[in-house]
Amino acid sequence: MRIATFNVENLGKPLPDGASEAERIRLLRPQLLRLRADVLCLQEVDSQRPEGSHERTLSALDALVSETPYAGFERAVTLGRSTGRFRDKHNLVTLSRLPILATRQLHHDLMAPPLHRPLGGCGVRFPKQAGEQGGVDAREEARPAEPQPVEWDRPIQHLALDVGSGRPLHVINVHLRAPRAAFVEGRKANAQTWRSLAGWAEGFYLAAIKRCGQALEARLLVDALFDADEDALIVVCGDFNADIHEVPVHIVRGDEEDAGNPHLADRILVPVERSLPDSRRFSVVHHGRPQMLDHLLVSRPLLAWYRGVEVHNEALGDELLTPQAVRGSGESFHAPVVAEFQAASG
């Protein structure tokens, strides 16, 4: 059994003056075929709205998997909370050769959104950025003093799959927020420019809350699964936008030393990439720096089945430098990650 995760980078989004959908498929399809996955967790699958229709489809995904074994796999897709339909951007999709017993998505189902009081309500003043033209002086803007909810950008996807072992395999597909400053009302001069570093810092702080908060909800889900079955087969996989030592991954996997409790060791999730040498352990290159941002974290019972992991990063471009040199590149700047498992006897 091979379980894979792959951020396909806005699959289906038009790239003006860039790679066409057909060109993107010619790049991505060989990567999918090489995975030989039985369970494939995808992030950033965009939807399309055919001309004259009100319904959105996943036609780009359908085109990508056509003429591959994945075309016949069962499929689970996250939906927008307000519409109950495909979101225009960044849907989570899991394709499975194994029968899907149940699927659900979690978006503040296990924890309420944390509250943040905008800094303007605390008497903080944000002067205009030097040289800014037009607009309203930020010092004169009225900002709400009441705390505002900080909601996650995307849901978490949870599937129970039939692996024929008498207990299901729990697959949790995640895409945590990137560490880029979140929008803050009145703190930007335009889409690209912040009025002050204090305003940017508030947005960066909010992004950290979103990323770590969603990691906490994923951990709450993992604990609930262990509460129901202490020998649960669990894999949490996806784009964490964080390396193994950063807070979001640490929250999800847990650590016996942090809890100070030897009775919780069997609830720790293990990053399978630790099997790889440092030279191979990266799924993204950012400004020349290799980083492992895409992970498969497995429970101890599933670790008994673990046989090996691959990160297909041989052709990986630099996510910061390549788009500047090649506008509209059709590549994904995340490497696919796949782990192989074999049911243990006894």
pLDDT of residue 128: 57
**pLDDT band with cut points at 50, 70 and 90 for residue 121:** low
Q: What is the CA radius of gyration of the chain?
A: 21
pLDDT at 139 over 80: no
pLDDT of residue 256: 84
Does residue 206 form part of some domain? yes
Candidates 51, 17, 5; CA nearest to 323 is 17
Distance, in Å, from the CA atom of 335 to the CA atom of 315, rounded to the nearest integer, reads 9
Q: How do residues 79-91 score in pLDDT, each as one tens digit?
A: 999 889 999 999 9
The mean pLDDT value for 161-187 works out to: 95
The β-bridge relationship of strands 2-11 and 39-45 is: parallel
The mean pLDDT value for 85-101 works out to: 97
Q: Which residues of 257-266 are buried (b: 16+ CB within 10 A; e: fewer)?
A: eeeeeeeeee
pLDDT at 269 over 70: yes
Report CA 92 to chain centroid distance, whole Å. 8
Residue 57: which domain range?
Answer: 2-341
The mean pLDDT value for 158-183 works out to: 96
Provide the CATH number for the domain around residue 153: 3.60.10.10
Q: Which residues of 292-304 are buried (b: 16+ CB within 10 A; e: fewer)?
A: bbbbbbbbbbbee
Decide which of 138 and 3 is more confident: 3
- Lowest pLDDT segment from 48-52, 265-269, 272-276: 48-52
Number of structural domains, the chain? 1
pLDDT at 152 over 80: yes
| Element at 175 (helix H, strand E) | strand 169-175
Does residue 346 form part of some domain? no
Which residue, chain included where needed, has tokens 């709400």? 144
Query: 67: alpha, beta or left, given left = phi > 0 and alpha = psi -120 to 50?
Result: left
Mean pLDDT rounded to a whole number for the chain: 92
pLDDT at 184 over 80: yes
pLDDT at 96 over 60: yes
pTM of the model: 0.92
The β-bridge relationship of strands 270-271 and 294-298 is: antiparallel
**pLDDT band with cut points at 50, 70 and 90 for residue 133:** low
Count of CB atoms situated within 10 Å of the CB of 346: 3
| Element at 258 (helix H, strand E) | helix 256-259
pLDDT at 137 over 50: no
**pLDDT band with cut points at 50, 70 and 90 for residue 130:** low
Query: 257: alpha, beta or left, given left = phi > 0 and alpha = psi -120 to 50?
Result: alpha
Q: Contact at 8 Å (CB) between 253 and 215?
A: no
The mean pLDDT value for 173-179 works out to: 97
Decide which of 120 and 36 is more confident: 36
Q: How do residues 6-46 score in pLDDT, each as one tens digit?
A: 999 999 999 988 999 999 999 999 999 999 999 999 999 99
Does residue 70 form part of some domain? yes
**pLDDT band with cut points at 50, 70 and 90 for residue 123:** low
Q: How do residues 275-319 score in pLDDT, each as one tens digit?
A: 999 999 999 999 999 999 999 999 999 999 999 999 999 999 999
pLDDT of residue 140: 43
pLDDT of residue 82: 86
Structure tokens of 167? 């207990």
**pLDDT band with cut points at 50, 70 and 90 for residue 53:** confident
pLDDT at 195 over 60: yes
The three-class DSSP label of residue 256 is: helix
Beta bridge partners of 171: 159, 235
